[in-house]
Amino acid sequence: MRKTGAGSPLFGFYVGQDRKQVEKMVPQLGQGGTSLPDRDLYLKSDARSLKIQEGFKIYVSTLFELIGTSPGQAKANAETIYQLEKKLAEAQMSRLEMRDPYKTYNKFAFNEFNQKTPAFNWALTFQDFGITVPDSVLVSAPKFYESVNKMLIETPIETWKTYLTWNLLKGSSSYLSSPFVNASFTFNQVVSGQKA
């Protein structure tokens, strides 16, 4: 999905310049996996955040219904996805923490990071990305990966299947028929507060 641009579930990945050794390019891993624009939108309970959370669930449910999922199952899928993404948001660093260049520069030997987060199977993951196993990797949020590693072990496979389907749906919706595009537009209005 990442290689084709169809989605990027769980985390961000790219190859970029090492900030401390600028002559070197290095694989870099960032936190991710959530659909809402800010982790706090999952964690706050003010009126605006609650409205966005509800709008998100409606959006997810709508897209599932558009691919033929029954309304009841689509609503259940939306709740499953919201709860999973909320756990991912809880594991993420805050926006303020992410601005700290010292906190986000965490260089690991590849084998060390693989041992810390074995459920990811990084050698196979990098192979799927078309990249040979590197000597080292830069990780912006190591605690996020440790939390997600635990989630990968503890979360039922059906939940992950639903989540991956959602990632494909949201990444494709703007290229599909008008009902998909309209659902995305409506949801973006809820997030931005823009009126029709």
Averaged pLDDT of the chain:
94
Mean pLDDT of 20-47: 95
Give pLDDT, residue 98.
94
**Would you place residue 77 in the very low, low, confident or very high pLDDT band (cuts 50, 70, 90)?**
very high
Q: Residue 3 pLDDT > 90, yes or no?
A: no
Mean pLDDT of 109-120: 95
Task: Read off the pLDDT of residues 124-179 as tens digits, 9 standing for 90 and up.
Answer: 999 888 888 899 999 999 999 999 999 999 999 999 999 999 999 998 888 899 99
**Would you place residue 196 in the very low, low, confident or very high pLDDT band (cuts 50, 70, 90)?**
low
Count other Cβ atoms within 10 Å, centred on residue 62: 21
Give pLDDT, residue 130.
85
Contacts 24+ apart (CB under 8 A), 174-177: 176/66
From residue 153, alpha-carbon distances to 47, 67, 76 in Å are 34, 29, 22
**Would you place residue 44 in the very low, low, confident or very high pLDDT band (cuts 50, 70, 90)?**
very high
C-alpha–C-alpha distance, residues 162 and 170, integer Å: 12
Q: Residue 29 — φ and ψ, nearest 5°?
A: -120, 130
Q: Residue 6 pLDDT > 80, yes or no?
A: no
Q: Residue 61 pLDDT > 90, yes or no?
A: yes
Give pLDDT, residue 49.
96
**Contacts (Cβ under 8 Å, ≥6 apart) of 45:** none
Instruction: Give 3-state DSSP helix, strand, coil % of the chain, rounded to 5.
Output: 60, 15, 30
**Would you place residue 8 in the very low, low, confident or very high pLDDT band (cuts 50, 70, 90)?**
confident
Which SS3 state, helix, strand or coil, does residue 108 take? Answer: strand
Q: Residue 45 pLDDT > 90, yes or no?
A: yes
Give pLDDT, residue 5.
67
State percent of the chain over pLDDT 70: 99
Mean pLDDT of 105-126: 95
Both tokens of residue 135? 């000597």
